[in-house]
């Protein structure tokens, strides 16, 4: 009987520290983003004397007060539950529970002085009060018995714990795959005009010379791009290079017809008033001023062809008139207005901007878009190619790959959870998902040595499966950034586990 009591107490101690450690880690993570620690913000605070008063008073909205009260309530609740179950007094629980809450809150508010966030002593007061409320509820609730509550959870979970870990691993795998599945063209509109040199509203003009344009409904690989770059812009694309070619223009006249015989007309006409000049001895149209080439009617078949593959490639020969154009200045666009498009290839000074509409990137396609470094020149014709395949965009210049955005999870996971497109949100999400997963693996039944081998192996399984799926089905490159985040969080799990064991040992000796 004594052995059972000791075993129950050890389980209670380990479970309490487990939940406490996880919760505090997540609190620090969410309150210290965006991690831009800098003395600059401290200097700004010291120079802005009114900021001192703001630090003393803080925000006083009801929502802010409730958030700060609740934030450290679980800390006081967990500590009090552990101390009550091990026979400690209310005084001891209040001292440890509120003291821990106060220390956490002070450390957060001091750290926030070095961040683009607002520190407040009122927040410290509310956080500490919330921790004290957590202690009070545990001790003044005569019916709540922490040890019985946790033992019920243990009894229910123990037989299926391995399956829970496996199920959570499956959930993580699905989450990492979802951005690639959702980044499709299902929300493309079939009634948008096809445009060259401007937006449909005539307020994003591009000026320069355009020689040839080829559009594919597949993502071309590097060999395909090199082959296209070797074809002179005066000629149509040879049959051996034209797989999935659906639109091609050789700009040899002011009325342009699609050169591909696939049922898509997309005849382009000069929209008046325009200043577009045709070369006499070679293909090429020189576009000046506020001009535009536009398809008089939309072709719904074009959108259907793109939706069939959910892939897109544009290959174009151009020479910008100058490197001062921005907006982006629309080179090629399938769009309705500056805020609504299916895709756009544009110029931003000496850089290329490529936007594609998906359910995650929004109607403007700008939540995640490709923006190159300096690659454009106004001195000679240049071959530019861009490809898009379910979140992975690639850019080529004169047949050579310039950049590849392969971090689809990094860019799109925050959008999946509707948290905007800030990069630090990706770190927050990965931590909230993976840190508990690592600790779940750590608590698998077995010896400590065995669990040490489980953690590194199982923590990367969701990454390996999701990456293999995307490589196999979408030909995506492995997301090295996501792997680095996995390894970083894995190291945090291993290091914090040592501290966790130290705390348990210290608590056993003290109480």
Q: CB of 7 within 8 A of CB of 147? A: no
In Å, the largest CA–CA distance within the chain is 101
Structure tokens at 345: 């290839």
Query: Helix or strand or coil: residue 238?
Result: coil
Nearest to 387 by CA among 409, 402, 376: 402
Residue with tokens 């967990």: 78
**CA–CA dist 372, 350 (Å, integer):** 9
The confidence score (pLDDT) of residue 4 equals 47
pLDDT in tens, 44-87: 666 665 555 555 555 567 778 888 889 999 999 999 988 888 88
Question: CB atoms < 10 A from the CB of 483, how many?
Answer: 14
Residue 164's alpha-carbon distances to 12, 120, 150, 337, 486, in angstroms, are 20, 40, 17, 49, 20
pLDDT in tens, 226-285: 999 999 888 889 989 899 999 999 998 887 888 888 878 888 999 999 999 988 888 899
Structure tokens at 101: 């809450």
The confidence score (pLDDT) of residue 2 equals 45
Residue 15's alpha-carbon distances to 12, 18, 401, 491, in angstroms, are 5, 5, 52, 21
Residue 392 bridge partners (DSSP): 389
Residue-wise pLDDT tens for the chain (511 aa)?
444 466 677 778 878 888 888 888 889 888 888 877 777 777 666 666 555 555 555 556 777 888 888 999 999 999 998 888 888 888 999 999 999 999 999 999 888 888 877 777 888 899 999 999 999 998 888 777 777 777 787 788 888 888 998 999 999 999 999 999 999 999 999 999 999 999 999 999 999 999 999 999 999 999 999 999 999 888 889 989 899 999 999 998 887 888 888 878 888 999 999 999 988 888 899 999 999 999 988 888 999 999 999 999 999 999 999 999 999 999 999 999 999 999 999 999 999 999 999 999 999 999 988 999 899 999 899 999 999 999 999 999 998 888 766 556 778 888 888 888 777 888 889 998 998 898 888 877 765 555 556 777 788 999 999 999 999 999 888 888 889 999 999 888 888 888 888 877 887 777 6
Sign of the torsion formed by the C-alpha atoms of 409, 423, 498 and 94: negative
Within a 13 Å sphere around the CA of 348, how many CA atoms are in the beta-carbon half?
15
Statement: the pTM of the whole predicted model exceeds 0.85: no
Residue 11's alpha-carbon distances to 15, 147, 382, 441, in angstroms, are 6, 9, 68, 17
Residue 141 bridge partners (DSSP): none
Burial class of 78 by CB neighbour count within 10 A (0 to 12, 13 to 18, 19+): buried
Which pairs count as long-range contacts for 8-12, CB under 8 Å and 24+ apart, including other chains?
Answer: 8/147, 8/151, 9/85, 9/86, 9/147, 11/150, 11/151, 11/154, 12/82, 12/85, 12/86, 12/146, 12/147, 12/150
CA angle 464, 469, 472 (to 5 degrees): 120
Q: CB of 176 within 8 A of CB of 478? A: no
**CA–CA dist 107, 75 (Å, integer):** 15
**CA–CA dist 434, 456 (Å, integer):** 12
Q: Where are the domains of the chain?
A: 194-389
**CA–CA dist 72, 105 (Å, integer):** 8
**CA–CA dist 160, 183 (Å, integer):** 35
């Amino acid at each position: 009987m004594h052995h059972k009591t000791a075993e129950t107490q050890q389980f209670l101690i380990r479970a309490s520290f487990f939940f406490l450690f996880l919760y505090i880690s997540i609190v620090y993570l969410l309150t210290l983003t965006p991690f831009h620690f800098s003395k600059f913000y401290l200097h700004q605070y010291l120079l802005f004397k009114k900021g001192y008063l703001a630090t003393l008073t803080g925000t006083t909205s009801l929502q802010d007060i409730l958030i700060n009260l609740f934030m450290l309530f679980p800390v006081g609740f967990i500590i009090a539950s552990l101390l009550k179950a091990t026979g400690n007094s209310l005084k001891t629980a209040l001292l440890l529970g509120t003291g821990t809450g106060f220390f956490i809150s002070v450390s957060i508010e001091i750290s926030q002085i070095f961040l683009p966030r607002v520190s407040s002593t009122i927040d410290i007061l509310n956080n500490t009060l919330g921790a004290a409320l957590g202690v009070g509820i545990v001790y003044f609730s005569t019916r709540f018995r922490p040890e019985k509550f946790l033992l019920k959870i243990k009894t229910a979970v123990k037989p299926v714990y391995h399956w829970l870990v496996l199920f959570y691993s499956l959930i993580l795998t699905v989450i990492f795959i979802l951005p690639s599945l959702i980044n499709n063209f299902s929300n493309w509109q079939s009634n948008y005009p096809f445009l060259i040199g401007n937006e449909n509203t005539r307020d994003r003009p591009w000026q320069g010379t355009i020689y040839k344009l080829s559009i594919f409904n597949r993502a071309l690989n590097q060999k395909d791009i090199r082959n296209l770059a070797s074809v002179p812009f005066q000629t149509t694309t040879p049959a051996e290079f034209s797989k999935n070619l659906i639109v091609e223009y050789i700009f040899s006249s002011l009325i342009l017809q699609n050169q591909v015989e696939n049922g898509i007309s997309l005849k382009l006409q000069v929209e008046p008033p325009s200043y577009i000049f045709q070369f006499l001895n070679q293909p090429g149209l020189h576009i000046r001023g506020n001009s535009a080439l536009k398809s008089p009617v939309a072709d719904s078949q074009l959108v259907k062809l793109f939706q069939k593959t959910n892939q897109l490639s544009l290959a174009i020969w151009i020479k910008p008139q100058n490197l001062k154009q921005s907006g982006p200045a629309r080179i090629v666009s399938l769009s309705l207005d500056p805020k609504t498009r299916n895709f756009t290839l544009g110029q931003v000074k000496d850089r290329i901007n490529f936007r594609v509409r998906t359910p995650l990137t929004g109607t403007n396609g700008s939540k995640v878009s490709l923006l190159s470094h300096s690659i454009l020149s106004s001195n000679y014709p240049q071959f530019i190619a861009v490809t898009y395949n379910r979140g992975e965009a690639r850019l080529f210049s004169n047949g050579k790959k310039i950049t590849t955005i392969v971090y689809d999870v990094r860019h799109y996971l925050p959008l999946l959870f509707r948290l905007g497109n800030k990069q630090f949100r990706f770190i927050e999400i990965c931590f909230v998902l993976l840190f508990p997963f690592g600790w779940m693996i750590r608590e698998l039944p077995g010896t400590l040595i065995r669990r040490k081998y489980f953690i590194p192996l199982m923590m990367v399984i969701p990454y390996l499966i999701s990456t293999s799926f995307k490589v196999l089905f979408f030909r995506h490159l492995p997301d090295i950034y996501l792997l680095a985040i996995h390894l970083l969080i894995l190291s945090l799990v291993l290091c914090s586990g040592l501290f966790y064991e130290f705390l348990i040992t210290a608590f056993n000796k003290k109480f």
